[in-house]
Amino acid sequence: MDAEQQTLLRQAMQLYGNESNKWVRIADDSIFNFQNFTPRQLSREWRRLGNIGDEEHQAIEEELAFQRAQEII
């Protein structure tokens, strides 16, 4: 999934994120053009994007903690 598709997936989740059948709705919605993806693939990609965000956040937190430790020393 390229960056444009990731952006579209985020937009689709804003629209359908609270629905129980959101992955089917997103896959079928022609506005987002995800007809080549299965609901399962979209779900996996969404989890992957979330994990990337968590990893980036963790790396930033670790860097800040390291900087604070260096200031103390």
Please write the tens of the pLDDT for every residue from 12-26. Answer: 999 999 998 999 999
Per-residue model confidence (pLDDT) at position 57: 58
Of 45 and 59, the one with more pLDDT: 45
- What value does the mean pLDDT take over residues 34-56? 86
- Write the single-letter amino acid at 24: V
For residues 46-69, b (16+ Cβ closer than 10 Å) or e, as one string?
beeeeeeeeeeeeeeeeeeeeeee
pTM for this structure? 0.67
Q: Does domain 3-72 have CATH number 1.10.10?
A: yes
